[in-house]
Amino acid sequence: MLESRLIRNGWKFERFAGSVRGDTVISRALVLQFDDGDGKYQSYPFRIIIKEGPGETTKTGAITPKGSATDTVDTRVPFETFLESMIELRDWLRERQPRIEQQRWDEQMERYHRKQGRRE
């Protein structure tokens, strides 16, 4: 499935996120892309790009980039390495997702109770 859907130039997955550290809003972007450069990068067709820079919080609480990224990692990997990495990530998430969701729930409930003026 992965091979038939991804082995096409132009495939791209982008995910935006961020965090707030004190008064500083940090924006992050993850880009996974298939681009063999018209054969130039045939041995390393997958690009993994991570960007971080200043961000701003929207009215809904989302974090969006504010200007250009200040730090960028852009690397190319062969198909086998990309596939191994995605399988490893999937396994890591399967194991840890319940704990991550519980922590998120606990934090949301704590914020809710703080807004209500009580802690439980």
Q: What angle do CA 47, 49, 52 make, to 5 degrees?
A: 175
Q: Say whether both 88 and 59 belong to one domain.
A: no
Q: Is 55 in the same domain as 113?
A: no
Which residues pair with residue 19 across a beta bridge? 26
Same domain, 32 and 12: yes
What local confidence, expressed as pLDDT, does residue 1 receive? 43
> Two tokens at 43?
């041995």
Q: Are residues 25 and 53 in the same domain?
A: yes
Per-residue pLDDT tens digits for 51-108: 999 999 998 888 999 999 999 999 999 999 999 999 999 999 899 888 888 988 998 8
Number of domains present in the structure of the chain = 2
Q: Indicate whether 61 and 11 sit together in one domain.
A: yes
Could you list the residue range(s) of the whole structural domain that residue 99 is in? 79-120
> 94 with 73, same domain?
no
71 lies in the same domain as 26: yes
Same domain, 68 and 84: no
Q: Is the pTM of this model over 0.75?
A: no
List, for residues 13-22, the tens digit of each pLDDT value. Answer: 999 999 988 8
105, containing H or E segment: helix 79-116
**Quick one: 30 and 62 in the same domain?**
yes
